[in-house]
Amino acid sequence: MGCHFCPSCQRVSRFRWTVASWIRQLVMVCVGAIPLGLLFHFSLGGYWGVVGVAVGGLLIGIPLDKLYDGRFRKLEKYDTEDAP
């Protein structure tokens, strides 16, 4: 997710979206969303579990995805002229 910069030319690059990357992203978001959602639900009750799921997915899933992208995936050039 998001934009990444090529380490050699400093231009904006992107990752190809594949089925495996979608599944991996879903798993990483669920890793953070489910525990925090359950914690909010049992401690605050009501619809606070939904807030916990959203916050947990963002706080845990996005940094884990960025870490995985930086270590294991290859960058591709972004083919537009307005890229820095």
* Residue range 18-37, pLDDT digits in tens: 788 788 888 888 888 888 89
What is the model's pLDDT at position 64? 81
Is the model's pLDDT at 38 over the cut of 60?
A: yes
Domain total in the chain: 1
What is the model's pLDDT at position 42? 93
User: Is 84 within a domain?
Assistant: no
Is the model's pLDDT at 56 over the cut of 80?
A: yes
User: Is 63 within a domain?
Assistant: yes
**Domain region containing 71:** 4-77
Residue 33 exposed, middle or buried by CB count within 10 Å (0-12, 13-18, 19+):
buried
User: Is 65 within a domain?
Assistant: yes
- Residue scoring higher pLDDT (83 or 74): 74
User: Is 83 within a domain?
Assistant: no
pTM for this prediction: 0.60
In angstroms, the CA 28 to CA 22 distance is 10
User: Is 82 within a domain?
Assistant: no
Is the model's pLDDT at 78 over the cut of 60?
A: no
User: Is 73 within a domain?
Assistant: yes
Give the chain's mean pLDDT: 77
User: Is 9 within a domain?
Assistant: yes
User: Is 30 within a domain?
Assistant: yes
